[in-house]
């Protein structure tokens, strides 16, 4: 048995190392919203010659055009999605495309609204709150104690903050954007995090049924020791899938896979090292209150 409960301060330090810079970054720099949220310019044209995606991106770069997406439809027809920028920059980009790709047949040049409106975003937040309440009540019901529910939700909030924080940092330093796919990765992490926590809580519940006298601290240490192997094995299988996507998947999918990877790591970490310590703390508080009475 490993006495996990002795090292709570290490977990606090570890979590703070990620959370403090993340939250600082969230407050000062916020997140970088993608064209899905902000809108931008859509340019659609047919070129005489076929240009590769790489050379198209190169042309965009030299003209300081922030390309979000290149979509090919038909033979040499391209649709470019561009971040909000000046009219003249788009014109310059268009001119150079003509130089390299031959005659241009301009089909469309529009400024578009966002795909994800404010309406959807606020509804997604409402849904997340409902999910949190539902999880809290179900865990409290299944484990016959509110402490378990609160602890599970605490680790959930921890994971959400880690994800938002790290993407805020990634956005500030590497220009990574938050798009519709990030919203999905976030929802995935929510489910995964609770799933993992419940496996550990189940062990604690099982031992408590057999024996109610042993201290919760000891019970949780036994439970953590026994489930650690399974937690790691399980997370490794998911991480294998995601790492292969990060390393070998296409450009457009990469940051999505990174988001899921961060979610998996923090989801695995938070179950033994956030949810369980929170449960122990809550238990202690309750005991103290009862003694005072």
Partner 1 sequence: MAKNSRKFFIYLLILTFIVALIDLPEKFKISIPWRGGTIQKEINPPSINIQIGSLKIQKTFTTHLGLDLAGGIHVALEADMKNIPVESRMDALESARQVIERRVNFFGVSEPVVQHIKSGETYRVVVELPGVTDIDQALSLIGQTAKLEFREMNDISESTEAAFLSPTLENTQPVDLTGKDLKRATLSFNSNNGEPEVAIEFTPDGGKKFADITKRLIGKPLAIFLDDTPLMWPTVKTEITDGSGVISGGFTFDQAKRLTLQLNAGALPVPVAVVEKRIVGATLGADSVSKSMRAGFIGLGIVALFMILKYGWLGLYADLALFVYGLITLALYRLIPVTLTLPGIAGFILSIGMAVDANILIFERFKEECRKGKPWVIAMELGFGKAWDSIRDANFTTIITSIILYNPGNWDFLPSSGLVRGFAATLFIGVVISLFTGIIVTRTFIRVLYRGPKGGKA
* Residue with Cβ nearer partner 1 (8 or 238): 238
By CB under 8 A, residue 291 contacts partner 1: no
Backbone φ and ψ of 251, nearest 5°: -55, -45
By CB under 8 A, residue 234 contacts partner 1: yes
DSSP 39-77: -EEEEEEEESS---HHHHHHHHHHTT--EEEEEEETTTE
Residue 255 beta carbon to partner 1: minimum distance, rounded to whole angstroms = 12
Residue 23 beta carbon to partner 1: minimum distance, rounded to whole angstroms = 25
Interface with partner 1 (CB under 8 A), residue total: 72
Q: Binding residue for partner 1 (CB under 8 A) from 2, 48, 64, 130?
A: 130
Residue 260 beta carbon to partner 1: minimum distance, rounded to whole angstroms = 7
By CB under 8 A, residue 113 contacts partner 1: yes
* Residue with Cβ nearer partner 1 (79 or 217): 79
Q: Binding residue for partner 1 (CB under 8 A) from 8, 104, 124, 140?
A: 124
As separate numbers, helices (DSSP H) first and strands (DSSP E) second, the chain gives 10, 4
* Residue with Cβ nearer partner 1 (169 or 242): 242
Residue 6 beta carbon to partner 1: minimum distance, rounded to whole angstroms = 24
Q: b/e string for 108-128 if b means 16 or more Cβ within 10 A?
A: ebeeeebebeeeeeeeeeeeb
| CA distances from residue 181 to 159, 187, 213, 264 in whole angstroms, order as listed | 17, 10, 48, 16
Q: Binding residue for partner 1 (CB under 8 A) from 12, 112, 140, 281?
A: 112
Binders of partner 1 among 161-220, rule CB under 8 A?
180-181, 183-185, 187-188, 190-192, 194-196, 198-199, 201-203, 205-206
Binders of partner 1 among 52-81, rule CB under 8 A?
53, 69-73, 79
- Given a contact cutoff of 8 angstroms between Cβ atoms, the answer to whether 45 and 107 are in contact is yes
Binders of partner 1 among 251-290, rule CB under 8 A?
251-253, 256, 260
- Give the C-alpha separation, 147 to 153, whole Å: 10
Residue 292 beta carbon to partner 1: minimum distance, rounded to whole angstroms = 33
Q: Cα 104–110–112 angle (5° rounding)?
A: 145
Pairing of strands 77-82, 40-47: antiparallel
* Residue with Cβ nearer partner 1 (25 or 278): 278
Pairing of strands 104-112, 67-73: unpaired
């Amino acid at each position: 048995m490993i006495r996990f409960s002795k090292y709570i301060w290490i977990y606090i330090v570890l979590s703070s190392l990620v959370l403090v810079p993340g939250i600082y970054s969230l407050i000062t720099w916020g997140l970088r919203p993608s064209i899905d949220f902000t809108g931008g310019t859509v340019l659609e044209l047919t070129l005489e010659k076929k240009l590769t995606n790489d050379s198209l991106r190169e042309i965009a770069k030299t003209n300081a055009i922030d390309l979000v997406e290149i979509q090919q439809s038909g033979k040499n027809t391209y649709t470019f999605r561009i971040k909000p920028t000046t009219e003249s920059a788009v014109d310059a980009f268009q001119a150079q495309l003509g130089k390299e790709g031959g005659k241009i047949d301009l089909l469309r040049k529009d400024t578009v609204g966002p795909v994800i409106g404010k309406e959807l975003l606020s509804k997604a937040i409402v849904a997340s709150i409902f999910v949190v309440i539902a999880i809290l009540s179900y865990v409290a019901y299944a484990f016959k104690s509110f402490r378990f529910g609160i602890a599970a939700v605490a680790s959930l909030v921890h994971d959400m903050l880690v994800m938002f924080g790290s993407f805020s940092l990634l956005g500030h330093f590497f220009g990574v954007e938050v798009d519709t796919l990030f919203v999905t990765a976030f929802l995935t992490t929510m489910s995964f995090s609770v799933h993992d926590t419940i496996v550990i809580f189940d062990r604690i519940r099982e031992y408590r049924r057999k024996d109610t006298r042993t201290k919760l601290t000891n019970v949780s240490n036994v439970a953590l020791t026994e489930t650690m192997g399974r937690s790691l094995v399980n997370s490794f299988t998911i991480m294998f899938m995601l790492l292969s996507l990060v390393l070998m998947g296409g450009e457009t999918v990469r940051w999505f896979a990174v988001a899921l990877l961060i979610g998996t790591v923090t989801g695995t970490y938070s179950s033994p090292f956030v949810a369980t310590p929170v449960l122990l703390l809550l238990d202690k508080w309750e005991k103290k209150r009862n003694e005072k009475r």
